[in-house]
Amino acid sequence: MEDKTLSSVYPSLYEFPMTITMFVCMVIPAWFIIHRWNQRNEKGPKTWPLLGASIEQFLNYDRMHDWLVEYFSVTKTVKVPMPFTSYTYIADPANVEHVLKTNFANYPKGETYHSYMEVLLGDGIFNSDGEHWRRQRKTASLEFASRNLKEFSTIVFREYALKLSSILGQASLDNKEVDMQELLMRLTLDSICKVGFGVEIGTLAPHLPNNSFAKSFDTAQIIVTLRFINPLWRIKKFFNVGSEALLDQSIKTIDDFTYSVIRKRKAEIKEARATNENDNKIKHDILSRFIELSENPENNLNDKSLRDVVLNFVIAGRDTTATTLSWAIYMIMTHPQVADKLYSELKDFEEEKAKQENVSLLPYNPEDAESFNERVTKYASLLTYDSLGKLLYLHAVVTETLRLYPAVPQDPKGILEDDVLPDGTKVRAGGMVTYVPYSMGRMEYNWGPDAAQFKPERWLKDGFFQNASPFKFTAFQAGPRICLGKDSAYLQMKMTLAILCRFFEFKLVPKHQVKYRMMTTLSMQYGLQLGVVRRS
């Protein structure tokens, strides 16, 4: 009776909640419908109020590079709004040149990218901007330009390629399958540690010792890459749960390894100075140069800075080269005409070079381990920095692999100020612009109607290698941030492939699935499981 009286005196007290509910039920669906209607002519992914394109991107995350290819096939610029930022993906060389060169200062790595990657890469060269980046780049460029480093690198790359050849030769005799990507990761990790940091870590030993650093490094890359589409990662990090807890464990393993490398190199430098203060061997690697700089307080470099140097060069020297080699071997063995043509070039080179240097090439038995290894070693001795430069088809095979399977499939940049790209696209300060080498290599408007085909011959004309614009072939970036290690990467990849493709044939293990996994670099999710056969 009392309630009835109240409702008759104050009807609004009872009607107001119902009115709000009806309003919400009507307005929110209308808001969604209007939002979608306004986007009916858009060529990009579906977006929703507040959520942006996060739903579609999340559903396609495992195939994100190919998801972008589908959009780029109908438009050269793809807008992908997200809850806390907006991504503009570009595949037009004119837009790429604008971002990487013409208006370079407006497109740094940026705070967003830095905050996502800092736990792994710190303030290293690939995760920094401004004066800090310029200082690191200047130091590294001096090392990469030195003749001593090129000669030393050639020796090291040959040494580890021979170690890999020996492992493959034994696998062939034992009729064992191998994970080629795993072996190549070991090869490049050992190589970068020797060339870049002056230490021997021995992960490519015949018994293949456990490599906890490499596994943790891969795990960390996967998790920090996921941060780009997961707006909840900061909450997980705050409570140290789920993937962020695993990341924390991985970083501890990574840091333990990295600081041990720094301590070891410092001790070797100290010992070298104690025996001979003018011993130039202490300056033959990149880490030693940075250690030398750290001794000057004005440079503001400590062990944490050196740690960042090491990890940035690991991702540059290990992951990028190993993934490209993996894709190259996969493409060679799945394109028999390419494999035959490459083998012919390597065989002809061997015979011609041996004749010039008066080296005897005695017949050998591929089934006899000793004679086989002797022949491989003799062949490897013919592969120098200069002689590798004459293997044009090999160079074309590597370059064509990078066109379709770039080691870094997409590279985001921050936006400092509002800007308009050459194609008229407006970009807003605080957002991100990402050029996409993986998609660019597959676009007919960049490479013609055969863009999707693996065709090394596209790089050769009248017997000469033809370079493409670095704003179209973006595997090594372009502009002020163009890759300093490009020549070194080509040197190692050609040295390794020249030996492997001359003396081995590879067959994919039946039913083995080859697909990329989402991380900073384009590695294969399930590795590359192969059978190995020696060649005569």
Q: What is d(CA 483, CA 476) in angstroms, rounded to the nearest whole number?
A: 5
**Beta carbons of 409 and 98 less than 8 angstroms apart:** no
Q: What is d(CA 408, CA 520) in angstroms, rounded to the nearest whole number?
A: 7
How far is C-alpha 64 from the geometric centre of its chain's CA atoms?
15
Q: Specify which residues 88 forms β-bridges with.
A: 79, 433
SS3 assignment, position 533: strand
Q: Which of 411, 469, 520 is closest to 97 using CA atoms?
A: 469
Q: What is d(CA 77, CA 42) in angstroms, rounded to the nearest whole number?
A: 11
The kind and range of the H/E element at 432 are strand 432-435
Q: What is d(CA 208, CA 227) in angstroms, rounded to the nearest whole number?
A: 32
Distances (CA, A) of 316 to 167, 192, 359, 517: 25, 9, 36, 18
Query: 86-90 and 432-435: which strand pairing?
Result: parallel
Distances (CA, A) of 418 to 178, 187, 428: 51, 44, 4
**Beta carbons of 192 and 314 less than 8 angstroms apart:** yes
Does the annotation list 483 as a binding residue?
yes
Q: Which of 193, 54, 161, 103 is closest to 388 using CA atoms?
A: 161
Phi/psi of residue 476, each to 5°? -110, 20
Distances (CA, A) of 358 to 345, 355, 361, 371: 19, 5, 9, 19
Tokens of 239: 């409570």
In 156-280 the beta strands, taken as DSSP E runs, fall at: 178-179
Q: What is d(CA 238, CA 182) in angstroms, rounded to the nearest whole number?
A: 34
Q: What is d(CA 428, CA 422) in angstroms, rounded to the nearest whole number?
A: 15
Query: 77-81 and 419-420: which strand pairing?
Result: unpaired
Q: Say which residues have a Cβ less than 8 Å from residue 19's Cβ, sequence separation at least 6.
A: none
Q: How is residue 275 annotated by DSSP?
A: H
Tokens of 250: 């991985």
Q: Which residues are annotated as a binding site for heme?
A: 483
Q: Which residues are annotated as a binding site?
A: 483
